[in-house]
Amino acid sequence: MREDPMSHYGTWWAVALWIVMYAAFLLFVPFYKKADRKPAGAFLAFIVAFALEMFGAPLSLYFVMWAFGRTLPEGVLWGHTLSGLVGDAGVLVAVAATLAGGALVIAGWARIHREYWSKEEGQGKLVRDGLYRWIRHPQYTGFLVISLGVLCEWATLPLLLLWPVLVVLYTRLARREEAEMAERFGEEWRLYAAETGRFLPRLRFAARRSS
């Protein structure tokens, strides 16, 4: 007997739990300026849409029914959208991405908080070790990895629309912060930026450092 695809919706306590659990990662970002709040708000909107689509209500299905007067089978913009193609592998990828992304967020925050944010004005140093040896924004990479992992199982309409927005907002925030670091640390920053990637390691420098 086939399970009703709508049976797991309407579990609102699970919606609240998942929002709180994923939104907790935002505690590991220093909201020292208003510019940081837009990407954080977009990430939170992504998580809310994810939780609602997974446990609350199939928003994508309702939108298509309203806009086109048609229903869609589960797996087409709603429900376990990629399960027909990858099976349980999508769930495993999403879990792995959440763990890896969460580790990047927490480890990146711990390092930069100790060496920079906890210092008095003008006394923080340019962080170049740990994760920052390879990428300049491990926290933002972590958020993008988490959200991309979610898409591997729940590629629903709201999430497909929000993920490019996340990429754009975190890229703009990273560029803004890099301009400030260049102004503050000058040549030290320029040399560091030339050897590291913004969100991903630069392969030729990564190979040289690991050899």
pLDDT number for residue 1: 41
For the ranges 20-34, 72-86, 164-178, the lowest mean pLDDT is seen at 72-86
* Adjacent-strand bridge partners of 197: 135
> For 101-152, what is each residue's pLDDT tens digit?
999 999 999 888 888 877 666 677 899 999 999 999 999 999 999 999 998 8
pLDDT number for residue 2: 46
Distance CA(20)–CA(187), nearest Å, equals 41
Task: List the chain domain ranges.
Answer: 12-210
What's the CATH number of domain 12-210, 1.20.120, 1.10.10, 3.20.20, 3.30.450? 1.20.120
pLDDT number for residue 7: 63
Q: Most confidently modeled of 7-16, 49-58, 132-141?
A: 132-141
- Provide mean pLDDT across the span 45-73: 84
Handedness of CA 156, 51, 162, 177 (dihedral sign): negative
3-state secondary structure labels for all residues of 99-161: HHHHHHHHHHHHHHHHHHHCCCCCCCCCCCCHHHHCECCHHHHHHHHHHHHHHCCCCCHHHHH
pLDDT number for residue 6: 66
- Provide mean pLDDT across the span 36-44: 87
Q: What Cα–Cα distance (Å) separates residue 155 from each residue in 45, 46, 151?
A: 15, 12, 5
- Provide mean pLDDT across the span 44-57: 90
In the chain, % of residues over pLDDT 90? 44
**pTM, entire model:** 0.85
